[in-house]
Amino acid sequence: MISGVRILGLVFGFFVLFGALYMRKNNRLRRGEFILSILAFLIVWLITIYPPIVDVLVNIFEVEGRLFSLAILSSFVSFVFIVYLTISLSNMQRSFGELVQAIALGQYSDHVDNMSSAHVSVVIPAYNEEGIIAEVLERIPDHVFEMEIKPIVVVDGGSDRTGHVVESQGSRAVFHAVNRGQGDALRTGFEISCREGAEIVVTMDADGQHLPEEIEKLIMPIYNGQADYVMGSRFLGHYADSHGVRHIGIVLYSAIISFFSGVKITDCTNGFRAIRASALARLELREERFSAPELILEAVNKGLIIKEVPISIMSRKLGSSKKPSGLIYPLRFGLAILRVWLRS
């Protein structure tokens, strides 16, 4: 006869499974959360239906008695719970980022041109780039394919006079009160671009490594109806610093993203890209800092036509890279790829 505790376990496991399937079907549960729920269901039902399975842990860990085995199992469950709390903390951080964005957009609202005609918006995230940002803005062409080009510099916190330099050039700047990372800065720029009726949105770095003269290369496939999302590739064009571990890392991660997406990608970390503005609303963008893999995988998931074109990456003239040093950058970049894949 089945004991009351085992019946309770079966019922609990059933509700976990039913709840996970229902929430996943209604897009209320991400892939990672769904996997954790299924694991919890399997563990509960396996122990409930066949309690001697715990004896397997006794033999594996060479401990005496089921009590120790259950303690080990409880540690595993606690680890899963910590992972879930980490995901929840990430959601809280995202909410804070949305607050920073809302404040920035509110302060910028008086400058939004709601009557603007179809144009190309160039979004430039900037963090402590006062020494080079003026040159970058000066080199951006006024028109391409008879469409006006309108730069938007998103000053993502910082301690220098980047925003002052931008405004003294007669260009537009929107300010984040604190540094939120490239992903959040791009989302702010995307929001303004869409509000102003941009037809195409270009993103580029503020450090002078991208050539503004090559914007036309990125826009052309979208303008001709051949693509929705165009990525610049240094490996198809010119790479001034094509050596070292960073080069290998880009190639490796490009291969990983190509595998996950099913689309051949040669330069997954490049921030020089163009996107059809009408497609931006379809992308679910949540990454604070490592936006490149998220944009690619989201574009693939939403069925956008992706194309790579050759561009140039020049050596930095002034300042230093804002990317984390050592192994921190590749590790965080890899985690960003995993997070996007798990939530899809």
- Cα 276 to its chain centre, rounded Å, is 18
**Unique residue bearing structure tokens 């860990």:** 61
Structure tokens at 2: 């089945």
pTM above 0.85, yes or no: no
Phi-psi region for residue 144, left (φ > 0), alpha (ψ -120 to 50) or beta? beta
Q: What is the pLDDT of residues 69-86, one digit of tens each?
A: 556 556 666 666 666 666
User: In whole angstroms, what is the distance from residue 261 CA to residue 297 CA?
Assistant: 6
Asked which of 77-91, 93-107, 113-127, 182-196 is least confident by mean pLDDT, the reply is: 77-91
Beta-ladder partners of 87: none
Q: What is the pLDDT of residues 114-139, one digit of tens each?
A: 656 779 999 999 999 999 999 999 99
Asked which of 158-167, 198-207, 282-291 is least confident by mean pLDDT, the reply is: 282-291
**Residue 203 neighbours by CB distance under 10 Å:** 27
Structure tokens at 13: 């496991």
Q: What is the pLDDT of residues 239-289, one digit of tens each?
A: 887 667 778 888 999 999 999 888 999 999 999 999 999 999 899 898 888
User: In whole angstroms, what is the distance from residue 44 CA to residue 8 CA?
Assistant: 10
Radius of gyration of the chain (CA): 24
Beta-ladder partners of 58: none
Phi-psi region for residue 197, left (φ > 0), alpha (ψ -120 to 50) or beta? left
Helix axes 66-108, 53-61, angle to 10 degrees: 90
Residue 164's pLDDT is: 94
Beta-ladder partners of 147: 144
**86 to 83, 181, 185, 274, 290: CA distances (angstroms):** 5, 19, 23, 33, 18
Contact 156, 126 (CB under 8 A): yes
Q: What is the pLDDT of residues 32-72, one digit of tens each?
A: 677 777 777 777 777 767 766 666 655 655 555 555 555 65
**95 to 88, 140, 339: CA distances (angstroms):** 11, 34, 17
Contact 341, 253 (CB under 8 A): no
3-state secondary structure of 306: strand
